Chains A and B, each alone.
Chain A
Amino acid sequence: MIIGTPADAEAVLQLPRRRRGGAVRKERWKEYGLGYLFILPAFLIFGVFTFYPFVKNFWLAAHETPLYPGNPAPYVGIHQFTTTVTSSMFLQSLESTAIFTVIAVPIGVFLGLALAVIANQRLKGIAFFRLVFSATAVTGVAVAAVIFGTLLSPTNGLLQSWGIDTAPGIAQSPGWALYAVSGIQAWQFMGLSFIIMLAGLQSLPEEVLEAARTDGASTWTVFWRVTVPLMSPTIFFAGVIGTIIALQSYGVVDILIASSGQGSQAVYTHTNLLINYIYDEIYNRQFGVAACLAIALFLITLVVTAVQFRVLAKRVHYGN
């Protein structure tokens, strides 16, 4: 047994490495090189499709887009960004986006959880309902928009068939259109929310729920006092994901409102979500403005997610 200070031990241990230093270094580079080789494909794809556009976006935002392609793009610095984000059109779009998200996400989260609780029962044929409940996660946005467009139609829609007169149509009314698209977004997110919630429910510790039942708790109490707190990380996760998805949801408004050719200017203005606004500016060849809007949306997503983490994380219980 060798007795000495830790430094002695370190010296002893490092001796062989120092002697064989050259060989070791060569070995190490070989290993590193191989590692870099493996990440190269992913890195290339990330670089070309994510990193380069991200940087280019900032360049576009700082330059005025020329009217005709090929002409010089004058540098305007932050000016274009400040003009864009203070415009009334942007503020209107921001308000619509906020309403859209605040309606769609909580409803989608709640419906997902409610359906997951139902589908988590051990009943015969429940697998069929799990399939049905999760279906909206894989329903194309175009399909969803067309289905709802038909359901809400003032001439042959569902409400109309119930004798409720909705003329000029919910999706065509400036007061209602935004709520309609918010509802559709909630419905679309419900499927993914359901899948997340069901996975969460199935990983809950069974014995803890059983303990609550033997401790005399009613089904209702077990749900609110035990299931929901234990599910809080999952609910929180679904909320964050739902928010990010809602902020990037383009298709519903585009198909139901913008491309339908039925909307008035007022409807169009009230449902002009930030992401749709960005696409419009791109089609108008206003790349600089679109880039500024994209930066704004990026910052909003960042801030909202950060706030969610800070505020909600305190109320979320993570297991041991």
Chain B
Amino acid sequence: MAEVRFDGVTKTFGDVKAVDNLTMTVENGEFLVLLGPSGCGKTTALRMIAGLEEISAGSLYIGDDEVNDIPPKDRDIAMVFQSYALYPHLTVRRNIEFPLRQKDYDKAERDARVAKAAATLQLTELLDRKPGQLSGGQRQRVALARAIVRQPRVYLMDEPLSNLDAILRTQTRADIVAIQQELATTTVFVTHDQVEAMTMGHRIAVLSGGQLQQVGPPVELYERPANTFVAGFLGNPGMNLVAGEVADGVVSVNGTAIREVRASNGPVTVGARPETLRLAPEGLVATASFTEVLGADVLVLCTLPSGERFIVRQALDRPRPQSGEAIHIAVVDDGKALHLFDIASGGRLEASP
């Protein structure tokens, strides 16, 4: 077990900065999720921890050791790949045993560890099969077993759930969280799925364009996003972000006064999560476009007079507007519902109500 520390780590591919001056610490025993859209640099960051990508600038530490020039095999890490990357010519048993055979474990020790890992992931029946004879979910579990069969300093997981179907994904998500809790080994988990990020991580680090946007516990990121990117990326659907104006301590959108705020006069970006909004007799004027029934909730997609899109999440039993119907939207008044962001930088204005 060890902490992982990025100190100004940069990775360039030609002219492209895949990871740009990343400084961040993954605490000892922590489950940290690297979250971001494709191409944001999250996988590159993970591969740098593994030693599969060279570091262009900055320093990377695992524990107290700077590992910039240490090859993967000597970093004492275990990685789970998106494609599972099982050894197709070896049986499940030999796949799980492979990392142990690279170290000085005697046969009894190896067998015991393989048996334990296989039991944890319900693979005991499958030990003599080849990967080609397994289903996607089973292969995924073999990949996990191969990682947990030893106690490395860090587990690295690169979107290990993305090739599973929805039900299996939810199950395996819980399994990974449980295993991580039991082993309490520092884990870095890469995903583009914000539900995975919210449900699994102790903390989430959001990356965009190679730059760290915000790092913190899921609830903090959800409730106090540091900028418009994080606000829009977290949540399904993300936060509504529209142009607004602050004048004399009141923020208004499309000329409709929304609420009193402590912010200086001028244009701002106003953010509100769909579930903090409701249809009301009066409020922000909009036109309903259509509704999406999700189950317990309904999304009302509407358009503001400015042409900006806006989404309201409401309960299934509420009356649903017809397409083209003029509606009014009000903000649920709990003091945290409204977010203000700088119009130019997108950064959070701490004067938010």
Contacts and interface: CB of A to CB of B under 8 A. Distances in A.
A317 B130 CA distance: 11
A244 interface: no
A319 B88 contact: yes
Contact of B99 (A205, A207, A215, A317): A215
B83 A205 contact: yes
A216 interface: yes
Interface residues of B, number: 26
A216 B52 contact: no
- Interface SS of A by simple majority: helix
Nearest to B72: A213
Interface string A134-158: 0000000000000000000000000
A213 B52 contact: yes
A229 interface: yes
A205 B131 CA distance: 14
B99 A216 contact: yes
B86 interface: yes
A226 B89 CA distance: 8
Given A229-B89, A230-B89, A317-B88, A214 B51 contact: yes
B161 to A, nearest CB: 16
A167 interface: no
A85 to B, nearest CB: 41
Interface residues of A, number: 20
A287 B184 CA distance: 81
Interface string B32-71: 0000000000000000001110000000000000000001
A208 B73 contact: no
A221 B72 CA distance: 14
B98 A214 contact: no
Nearest to B99: A215
A210 interface: yes
B37 to A, nearest CB: 21
Given A216-B103, A319-B132, A320-B131, A211 B79 contact: yes
A69 B23 CA distance: 91
Contact of B88 (A212, A214, A230): A230
Interface in B149-169: 156
A281 B88 CA distance: 51
Contact of B52 (A210, A221, A229): A210
Given A221-B102, A320-B131, A210 B81 contact: yes
B312 interface: no
Interface in A210-257: 210-218, 221, 226, 229-230, 232
Interface in A184-218: 205, 207-208, 210-218
B71 A207 contact: no
A251 B210 CA distance: 59
Contacts of A205: 83, 85
Given A214-B52, A216-B73, A317 B89 contact: yes
B230 interface: no
Contact of B85 (A208, A229, A320): A208
A232 B87 CA distance: 14
Contacts of B89: 229-230, 232, 317
A211 B81 contact: yes
Contacts of B146: 211, 215
A230 B77 CA distance: 24
B241 interface: no
B226 interface: no
B54 to A, nearest CB: 11
A215 B88 contact: no
Contacts of B52: 210, 213-214
Nearest to B143: A211
Nearest to A232: B89
Contact of B98 (A212, A230, A317, A320): A212
21 contacts: A207-B83, A210-B72, A211-B86, A211-B87, A212-B98, A213-B51, A213-B72, A214-B50, A214-B51, A214-B73, A214-B79, A216-B99, A216-B103, A217-B73, A217-B98, A217-B102, A218-B102, A317-B88, A317-B89, A320-B131, A320-B132
Interface of B: 50-52, 71-73, 75, 77-79, 81-83, 85-89, 98-99, 102-103, 131-132, 146, 156
Given A213-B72, A214-B51, A317-B89, 20 more contacts: A205-B85, A207-B82, A208-B85, A210-B50, A210-B79, A210-B81, A211-B86, A214-B72, A215-B78, A215-B99, A215-B102, A215-B146, A216-B103, A217-B102, A221-B102, A229-B87, A230-B89, A232-B89, A319-B132, A320-B131
